Structure 1
């Protein structure tokens, strides 16, 4: 397993708010690099560590598929908790898909100043399960043994789950550049969450003391459709902490890595500034 990342020494480190980017299933942590560069320019101190077991490069992750097999939600939470504990101050979290769920969990645990959950995976209590979401996860669920395996997508499966709002050419290009095998366990854990009292997909949505949360959804998302994002927002109705929802109507699950990523990133930065968390003064 690669060593936990440590922010590089910086003379103005005390003034720079840490930002931890959390990837989801099937995308490598390096897919966040344009966001890391942008947030650095805006005065933050960002880093994008990978899930436990994932090698440092896309190529290595594809060669060593067994390293990620069997990793579950609690393992990922533990990994990012360790990352956070090594930082000089509590960070802002930005997560996509299952990374969005992890960001929600850590925010509910008071591990972060604020969180942005983009097309966040289904948390415990969310009931809608649209057909498009089922089809997106079929490569994992078609074999019960995949709970302990790492599963890869084909270019066609990626196009349906991530790139349906893109041209076939762009979707295939993103597939070749960023995709890696993903553990099946988190999907099985999320699917059974509402039948488990102590599900790892549970989030402290009633936490009144947590920092602000922004939920971002793509209106064309097949993997985490609008119904799931809106049902997630309702789970936070018992907390008076800030919980906002933004929709990009013409975007799919690839909205953090495709040609329109900058629009999403700029919106997140503007929201953070509005919440009182700008980059360094």
Structure 2
């Protein structure tokens, strides 16, 4: 019996950035015939400059992974078909959590934050993300990444002008508690259970989520009858969605979707 491939894609944004990071991706996949949804996170449905003006934002600071996952699950459950989910960083983790719930036809985790129980000893991972955890600071106040931190964690290897433009166009305040939740049961995945096709994409130059961490995440999935694939791209940093050449990733995803 021939099955109809899903034509709906839901993009799930990561932490620290506006959902505007998907603007060009949205246009690209719409031109390929897909219906695209790009839901803003709760308390973040505004331009990045407006959200920074609200910092410290108590509503953003109170965001937790369980609530955020439920928010996206509710959006997906209302759709007429199980969609393709494409998420970046924290959004990639949410993609994995929604696939656990059987809510997706397929998932793509781009430079994904790791589920509970997966670790790395790469120094860059801790240098890039330590401040966002906000230890010994007031968790009722949101966290706002400095430009220096942005240069190291997101846009390393890019020109100063591009780094600056991306920072002012996309950077938003974040919840310290949300970042910490990645180490709790809120981020737990049962790697042995059947799941929809799942693709991991990583970048060799990513300081925030090293390729080795993505590969360790991929290798945890053990169900033999489920499709799980991995691809590392050379020279890609954590700003992969806006890094010049992002189309290579989009084309790879499009080709992968056509084969599953």
TM range (shorter): over 0.9
* TM-score, structure 1 as length reference: 0.86
Partner of 2:89: 97
TM-score normalized with structure 2 length: 0.92
Q: Does 1:205 align with 2:195?
A: no
What pairs with 1:148-159 in structure 2 (closer than 5 Å)? 148-159=140-151
CA change 1:45–1:146 in 2 (3 A) is farther
Three-state SS of the structure 2 residue aligned to 1:93 is: strand
Is the 2:203–2:211 contact (alpha carbons within 8 Å) kept by the matching residues of 1? yes
Residues 52 and 75 in structure 1, CA contact (< 8 A), matched pair in contact too: no
Matched, 1:55 2:59: no
Task: Give per-residue Cα distances to partners, 1:154-185, cap 9 Å, x unaligned.
Answer: 11110100111322221222111111111111
Offset, 1:86: 2.0
**How far 1:63 moved relative to its partner?**
2.3
Contact 2:48 2:168 in 1 (8 A): no
TM alignment of 1:137-148, pairs within 5 A: 137-145=129-137, 147-148=139-140
Query: Aligned in 2, Cα 1:173/1:235: closer, same or farther, shift over 3 Å?
Result: same
Contact 2:9 2:34 in 1 (8 A): yes
CA drift of 1:143 comes to: 3.2
CA contact (8 A) 1:165 1:251 kept: no
Worse-matched range after superposition: 143-152 or 173-182: 143-152
How many residues align structurally?
Answer: 255
Which sections of structure 2, spanning at least 5 residues, go unmatched? none
Distance verdict in 2 for CA 1:16–1:115, change over 3 Å = closer
Matched, 1:166 2:162: no
**Which runs of 5 or more residues in structure 1 are unaligned?**
1-13, 194-198, 276-281
CA distance in 1, matches of 2:257, 2:211: 23
Alignment equivalent of 1:185, drawn from 177, 183, 187: 177
